[in-house]
Each structure stands twice: as C-alpha cells, then as structure tokens.
Amino acid sequence: MEKISETLGRDMSRLTDTQISLSKFTCRNCRDEGFEDHTLFYQHYGTSDKHFCIECEKGKKIFEKWRNAPEQIRHFQKEKQEKIAKAIQISHFSPNHRNAKLSDLRDNETLYRTCKMYIENWLKIKKEGLGYYFWGNVGAGKTYTTAVLANELMREHFVEVLFLKMPEAVAQIKKTFGSEKNDPAKKLFEKMCKVELLILDDLGIEKVSEWLADEIYQVMEYRTSHYMPMIITSNQSLGDLGKIYREQVSSRINGCSKSIHFTQKDRRHKTKEKSKETLF
C-alpha cells in the first residue's frame, strides 16, 4: 500500500507555480490588488480603466472612493439630469405644476410631513419599492401633491420621474394604433415599466378596454415584482378601481402603496389610526 506521505508528495509536485502563488493571497480573484486591469463602463459613473473586484473588501473600498470622487459625482448628476429631461419630455406636466414645491403644502401639516418623510427617506423607500395611492374627489389636491413629490425628488435626489395623466396618455396611445415604425405605444409602456418612479394621475377615469387593462396589469406586475415605486392618483377607491380594471391591478397597487384619502372640502387626508405615526 502506498504511503500517505508519498501520495501527498506526488500531488504537491503537480501544483503549478501559479497555484502555489495564488495560495498566498486572501482574494484569489484580484490577488489582493482590489481590481483587475481592463476598461469597464460603470452606469451613471463613467468609464474606469480598472475593473474593481467585487469579491473582496479592498475592491469595494477602492470602488467607493472612485465613485465618490468629485468628477464621478458630476458625471452622475449630468447623466441623471439628462434622463430626467427625457422623462419630462413625454410627461404630461401642466405648467402650473412644474413649479410645485414642498413648502406649498404648509397649510396642511400632516400632508406636509408625509411628503417630507417620503422625500427624505427616498433611498430606503426606493429599495423597498413603496409608493402612494391618493384617492378622493376632484379638486382635493391629489395631482398637486404628486407634482410636489415629483419636483422635489428630481431636485433633491435626481430621480427619473415619468408623470402621466392617464386620459391624455391613453388618447396619445390610441393615435399610434396601426403605426408600424418604432411602435410609440410599446415604447411608452416599456418606459412605464422601467422608469425610476412612475406617477399615474387620474387612473380609472379613462375608457378602459381589455387591451388597456392587460397592459396596465403588466406594468403593475413588472414594477411590483422588481420593487419599483409608483405614485397613483384616482377618483376611485382601490376596491372600485379593481372593478374598472381588474382585481389583480388593485391588488398589486395595494401591496406596495399606502392609500390616502383626500377630501374635497379642505384637502385633509385620512389615514388609518395605526399608520399615523409611520411612513408606511
């Protein structure tokens, strides 16, 4: 029988110089350099001639230092501003909503605090894919409140927002039916799925076809499954919205949104007692 020492000796002799040298490193991926040499484009941050290692703490620290450098921050802000500008081009912002700001809500302290908390906690909220469902009578302030949130998030966090007034958006989509080139309707629905924050204003008052109901469901399904936030306004409660579209649509909205009822009389909103002290 071959001795164990002889077996080990034979196996060790087969190790290459590279294998032996790799054993000296904590991270065998980058050999403790923190990066590998080659050019790689990092979304929002620009091009680096180093591929930062994601397998070790050193690589992560080097990447964070590079990402937070002033020139990378400027690049990030410029790219986000360009995306915001493109989103606004296809949004249905009315002129009087483009200047809406948080301080405009000061006359309603509860609503002001609710919006302020959403804006200040955006990074956490975005990861969890949380939003709002504002509903109530016409003129109760739902649309203006969403405009405040959109403007402040774009200004403070460079959030890419697509703001669609549903009746106008649906009318625009119908005009593109039969269009073979570029398929504008398809592009709009793709944008609705993937934009950073989707705002649908007056959902439920447009004429709903089987096709539209299916498309809206697909948007809701994509965004909720990918934890992408939405803010939706409607004249209908969630229960009634489910009857207009389908229960699956209202169920998706309910699962990721806090429902707030706006009243026409004084724009005060009602929330459940248990949620008054919390953001969600």
**Distance, CA of 204 to CA of 242 (rounded, Å):** 9
Percent share of the chain, pLDDT over 90: 29
In a domain, 246, yes or no: yes
Q: What confidence score (pLDDT) does residue 82 get?
A: 79
Residues 153 and 243 in one domain: yes
Q: Which residues have a Cβ under 8 Å from the Cβ of 59 and sit 6 or more positions away? A: 27, 30, 34, 35, 52, 53
pLDDT at 66 over 50: yes
In a domain, 105, yes or no: yes
Looking at the fold, whether 98 and 160 belong to one and the same domain comes out as yes
Confidence of residue 67 (pLDDT cuts 50, 70, 90): confident
Taking each continuous run of H as one helix and of E as one strand, the counts in the chain are 12, 8
Examine the domain organization and report whether 255 and 175 are in the same domain: yes
Q: Which domain holds residue 232?
A: 81-275
Same domain, 153 and 206: yes
Please say which residue of 20, 38, 68 terminates a domain.
Answer: 68
In this prediction the pTM is 0.68
